[in-house]
Chain A
């Protein structure tokens, strides 16, 4: 699906003033590379859209990258929302819930922690940082089974918490916010605010957060994409189909084709996938102006 943006704050900070005068220097090689990338990125999306307009039979019996037979998109969408008593809508709602609580919470926690680590000196800070860097290197997959056993002891497998709690811990997002806080929030501002008598929480929410907003949005988008696409963790944790996120739901429909006597619904799998990425694309389009807006807003002149 859509990959997360990995924008380093320093790079963008430097890039921003250069881009401002808009002095265009055309580079044909760059254009060519970008075009290739564009096609590479859009082709699967085009395939997905075109395939979603086909019936189950035409889907298997026609060329993938062009329309064929009746235009069944709306029929497919209708079926997707009504198949198995309309469980798709429920899955979609679950995913939104997991994203709002999980990705929202993860962003809040990593912003707080990243800012704290960057701006306050305390004993053990280096150790904390080493742990976080280490945690970035551990693939979540490797932790899945131990996490399951741990949660089983706590009796929270097969509940929404089994999906939400691990989603709240995103070392990469924390690392991102740490580097971002270090560079984007000048110590001078904090010091002058303290001199003016502002409390630490006020400084954080009134001064730091606006300065951090481009980084915050980047981390949020990253967390939203990761949580939205989360398949593996729910696959292990959840048994109740009513708690499935959209990814696991679509996966279970896809699996039906591999089951004796199962109902083969590739057309719904594809239409369901198309519908599932629409909110993600919308999130990117809506939020992009936030991460494009300059860092200099409200900053001091250095």
Chain B
């Protein structure tokens, strides 16, 4: 009941926002991606911070609390109201409602990479070229940096990054004599071996997760979404997508995936007691293991993401978020100043020290970062593996400019494949059709 209510609201809210998006973008003749020229220099930003003011930030990222405190010490005249609005969809709904209402819009908002295009096209967030954000080229790793771009326009600054890696329970792997898989073929074999040896143990859990699905297709080389301004196409029939569905359908058919939804209490339980033996997930995972799966301390390790062909080195991004300045903000310059502090300046180091996985190359390549030993991971220098993964993210991936909606209806179509009512490829086709239909209703040109 709770779910369906939320779904209803999300649908209503996102359609409102997209209505605005459709109207807003019709007048710039589809795909105006030319950047605005710089109007506020770095010195101008610094002057605004010294002059002071108040900004409101909506973000759920826990490491920002300390960053805000440090920032206010450095710039005593700036007051930053950090509001934790609930994560992900709850915040997007709130943000879309506020934008629609025209009041109560924050100056800065945390927006995940998959959701940023929706807010960008709806003109909810500002193009940061005004502040010369282009000069930050090379500051961030390519994956997240391209995720905040739409053509030449830059709609946010990357806060963290989630290059995928294989987290596995070494104790379970050792017990059943399973070598760490380096290819997906080996992974499938390991899944079968483990589950045969112990029918209560699974290689991983998956009950259908849109973010995971798109990240896996991304790594396999599939590019189902093509976006050019307001012209969009959806096609899950490409070779890359089929590579992934072929593998995953096999695991589903043989019942080799634990039918446990991610992030639920059952999921945390499985990660703790060894019944879920590995995770292919973003590099931001270690703090969540440390906090939520204390029981398995010392048992987990990190390895590179399995590959489609032996010897390849390709990864994709999973999750991760940016900070974006809203178009409605009355204090854009101060907002940009704080955002730069939090993502590039001292804040980036502070957040990395607190356990966030950085999107900045300086933090990522620092020796202190790479040599950090994780007691939870048995003393492994996990960042060596994860930083390498960050440099191997495949390029050319796009999310839909209505991905928030699409992800919300994922379970209606693809979800059925996990319960035996359909198969992945058909499910993806139905998902694509539902997304296409919605896009057309919102005024996008969908091919």
Contact = CB atoms under 8 A, between A and B. Distances in A.
Given A57-B295, A145-B9, A145-B97, A260 B284 contact: yes
B85 A153 contact: no
A229 B87 CA distance: 21
Interface of B: 2, 5, 8-9, 12-13, 16, 58, 60-63, 83-88, 90, 93-94, 97-98, 100-104, 160, 162, 263, 265, 268-269, 272-273, 282, 284, 287-288, 291-292, 294-295, 319, 354-356
5 contacts: A239-B85, A239-B104, A261-B287, A263-B62, A264-B292
Interface stretch (A207-215, A251-259, A290-298): A251-259
Contact of A157 (B83, B90, B101): B101
Contacts of B291: 261-264
Nearest to B266: A60
Given A260-B288, A264-B288, A60 B268 contact: yes
A165 interface: no
Contacts of B103: 152-153, 155, 157
Contact of B87 (A144, A145, A155, A255): A255
Given A57-B272, A61-B269, A255-B87, 19 more contacts: A56-B294, A59-B265, A60-B272, A60-B295, A141-B5, A141-B8, A149-B97, A157-B103, A157-B104, A235-B90, A236-B9, A239-B94, A257-B263, A260-B319, A261-B284, A261-B291, A261-B354, A261-B356, A264-B268
Nearest to A155: B103
Nearest to B106: A239
Interface of A: 56-57, 59-61, 141-142, 144-145, 148-149, 152-153, 155, 157-158, 231-232, 235-236, 239-241, 251-252, 255, 257-264, 266
Contacts of B85: 239
Contacts of A260: 61, 160, 162, 282, 284, 287-288, 319, 356
Contacts of A57: 272, 294-295
Contact of A266 (B5, B61, B84, B265): B265
Contacts of A60: 265, 268-269, 272-273, 295
Nearest to B112: A260
Contacts of B62: 259, 261-263
A61 B101 contact: no
Contacts of A145: 9, 12-13, 16, 97
Contacts of A141: 5, 8-9
Nearest to B9: A144
A255 B8 contact: no
A239 B104 CA distance: 9
B60 A259 contact: yes
Contacts of B83: 239-241
A141 B5 CA distance: 7
B5 to A, nearest CB: 5
